[in-house]
Amino acid sequence: PVERVKGNVEFQNVSFSYGRDENTIKNICFQVENGQTVALVGPTGAGKSTIINLLMRFYKPQSGTILIDGKNIQTITRESLRSFYGFVLQDVYLFEGTFRENIRYGKLDATDEEVEEAAKKANAHSFIMKLPNGYDTKLTEDGSGISQGQKQLLSVARAILRNPSILILDEAMSNIDTVTEIKLQEALQRLMQNRTTFVIAHRLNTIQNADQILVVYEGEIAERGTHETL
State which of residues 45, 91, 129, 175 lies at the interface with ligand ATP (CB under 6 A): 45
Nearer to ligand ATP, 128 or 213 (CB): 213
Examine residue 18 and tell whether it contacts ligand ATP (CB under 6 A): yes
The size of the interface with ligand ATP (CB under 6 A), counted in residues, is 10
DSSP class of 42: -
CA–CA dist 194, 37 (Å, integer): 9
Binding mask 83-122 for Mg ion (x = CB under 5 A): ----------------------------------------
Examine residue 50 and tell whether it contacts ligand ATP (CB under 6 A): yes
Amino acid identity of residue 121, one-letter, is K
Q: Where are the alpha helices (DSSP H) in 30-133?
A: 48-55, 78-84, 99-104, 112-121, 125-129
The size of the interface with Mg ion (CB under 5 A), counted in residues, is 1
Examine residue 209 and tell whether it contacts Mg ion (CB under 5 A): no
User: SS3 of 22, please?
Assistant: coil
Pick one of Mg ion, ligand ATP, none as the site partner of residue 23 (Cβ within 5 to 8 A by kind): none
**Three-state secondary structure of 169-222:** EECCCCCCCHHHHHHHHHHHHHHHCCCEEEEECCCHHHHHHCCEEEEEECCEEE
State which of residues 27, 49, 163, 209 lies at the interface with Mg ion (CB under 5 A): 49
The residues that touch Mg ion, with contacts defined as CB under 5 A, are 49
